[in-house]
């Protein structure tokens, strides 16, 4: 048990450093696109959406294979190689002289952005039914804490220069590699590894793997809908707050850091109490409902300071993620965890392709009179509607699972 606890802490720190690197560039990337184009926010949004989506396209193509590779060769080498590639991608973007090079850097980041896939499989390897929610809460907490320091650092460095945060992200990624080389143990025993098949390289085949486990497909659909809403929010947040409230990189960085504080508190501490108390099914539904409320408020509050009142609601809604992951992993055999997590990552990446395109395009249309109505928060309203569908699907699937014969 002590060794499992230590391994969970190792993967937490590894993910933390990785997410810090990702979070550093969030406050400055829309502005960098706008500066390279020499355009207004609405025009920049039309390019920013595809830039965010490109990361997801390349990640979708790579994630199933990388997940299967972790089932064959272990989690540790896949995580380390991914981190090296991520650091290189930040350097490409940092030196990018044109928008084309910025797109190339994001494409490379997507190919190597499978750390979360192997990390989830790693947590599944070392988890017991009693520690599942707690360990996946640590994964969420790594993202939360990373998004405390990452955007805050990015906002501060962005005041120095728009490219400085990219070099900072590269440094953090390479630091992450050093950490992993010295302290990250392998979690998958040799006798639980499986042969690699060419079919594992097919992202659509990976998604079809979700159908091989009763109940997983229905919950995977909830996962996809939740991811679509979240990716849409993330892709327009800086565009939205800059346009509606006039926030700078620093204000966005500090506010996103506050979002990270809330996520860290909930997923790093409260999840281990709330989810067992409510049970994973009920925690999932309640978390989704709170997420709907948060999105509606984000898109509606007329003044920027009111966002600070909505952030705690969004933070508490994060109990849905660990509860959903716990439900899914409880239905999957140890030797298939990497494949299932790779399939989920592929499905998530598909939403990350379309959500930024839809959200950023809607934002552009709602701010340049294309729609004939001025509605900057339209992407948040769409996300809330998608989550309502996710709630209905979750309730339907959970009822079916509860009524299924045992044994």
Question: How many Cα neighbours within 13 Å face the side chain of 397?
Answer: 23
pLDDT of residue 58: 84
Find all residues with CB under 8 Å of 53, minimum gap 6, and list them: 352, 353, 354, 356, 357
Angle between helical axes of 29-37 and 99-111 (0-180°, round to 10): 150
3-state secondary structure of 238: helix
Confidence at 292, pLDDT banded by 50, 70, 90: very high
Summarize pLDDT for 234-282 with one digit per residue, the tens.
889 989 998 999 998 889 888 988 887 887 788 767 887 888 888 888 9
pLDDT of residue 114: 56
pLDDT of residue 1: 45
Query: In sequence order, what DSSP letters do the residues of 336-373 get, joined into one string?
Result: GHHHHHHHHHHHHHHHHHHHHHHHHHHHHHHHTTSSSS
pLDDT of residue 205: 62
Summarize pLDDT for 123-164 with one digit per residue, the tens.
777 777 767 667 777 777 777 677 778 888 888 888 888 889
Q: Which fold has domain 2-180+198-401?
A: Growth Hormone; Chain: A; (1.20.1250)
d(CA 166, CA 155): 12
Q: Residue 389 has which token pair? A: 């569908």
Which has the higher per-residue pLDDT, 207 or 354? 354
pLDDT of residue 392: 95
Summarize pLDDT for 300-340 with one digit per residue, the tens.
999 999 999 999 999 999 889 888 888 887 776 666 666 77
Q: Which helix (H) or strand (E) holds 66?
A: helix 41-73
pLDDT of residue 407: 43
| Nearest C-alpha neighbor of 295 from the set 376, 360, 230, 361 | 230
Which has the higher per-residue pLDDT, 2 or 370? 370
Burial readout 321-348 (b: 16 or more C-beta within 10 A, e: otherwise): bbbbbbbbbeebeeebbbbbbbbbbbbb
3-state secondary structure of 282: helix
pLDDT of residue 64: 72
Give the start-to-end residue ranges of the domains of the chain. 2-180+198-401
Question: How many Cα neighbours within 13 Å face the side chain of 40?
Answer: 6
What mean pLDDT, rounded, does the chain reach?
A: 82
């Amino acid at each position: 048990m002590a060794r499992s606890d230590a391994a969970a802490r190792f993967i937490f720190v590894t993910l933390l450093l990785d997410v810090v690197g990702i979070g550093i560039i969030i406050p400055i990337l829309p502005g960098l696109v706008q500066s390279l184009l020499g355009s207004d926010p609405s025009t920049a949004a039309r390019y920013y959406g595809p830039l965010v989506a490109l990361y997801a396209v390349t990640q979708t193509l790579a994630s199933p294979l990388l997940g299967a590779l972790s089932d064959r060769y272990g989690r540790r080498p896949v995580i380390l190689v991914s981190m090296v590639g991520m650091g290189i991608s930040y350097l490409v973007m940092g030196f990018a002289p044109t928008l084309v090079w910025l797109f190339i850097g994001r494409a490379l980041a997507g190919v190597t952005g499978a750390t979360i896939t192997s990390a989830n499989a790693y947590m599944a390897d070392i988890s017991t039914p009693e520690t599942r929610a707690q360990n996946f809460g640590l994964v969420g907490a790594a993202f939360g804490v990373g998004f405390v320091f990452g955007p805050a650092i990015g906002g501060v460095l962005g005041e120095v220069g728009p490219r400085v945060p990219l070099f900072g992200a590269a440094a953090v990624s390479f630091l992450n590699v050093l950490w992993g080389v010295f302290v990250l143990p392998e979690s998958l025993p040799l006798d639980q590894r499986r042969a690699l098949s060419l079919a594992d390289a097919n992202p659509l085949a990976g998604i079809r793997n979700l159908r091989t486990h009763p109940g997983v497909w229905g919950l995977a659909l909830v996962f996809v809908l939740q991811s679509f809403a979240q990716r849409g929010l993330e892709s327009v947040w800086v565009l939205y707050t800059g346009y509606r409230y006039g926030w700078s990189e620093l204000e966005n960085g500090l506010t996103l850091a506050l979002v990270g504080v809330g996520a860290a508190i909930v997923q790093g501490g409260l999840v281990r109490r709330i989810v067992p108390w409510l049970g994973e099914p009920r925690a999932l539904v309640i978390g989704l409902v709170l997420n709907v409320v948060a999105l509606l408020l984000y898109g509606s509050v007329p003044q920027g300071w009111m966002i600070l009142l909505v952030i705690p609601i969004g933070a508490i809604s994060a109990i849905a993620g660990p509860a959903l992951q716990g439900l899914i992993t409880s239905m999957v055999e140890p030797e298939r965890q990497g494949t299932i997590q790779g399939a989920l990552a592929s499905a998530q990446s598909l939403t990350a392709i379309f959500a930024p395109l839809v959200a950023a395009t809607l934002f552009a249309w709602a701010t340049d009179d294309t729609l004939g109505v001025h509605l900057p928060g339209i992407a948040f309203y769409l996300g809330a509607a998608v989550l309502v569908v996710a709630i209905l699907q979750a309730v339907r699937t959970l009822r079916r699972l509860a009524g299924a014969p045992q044994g």
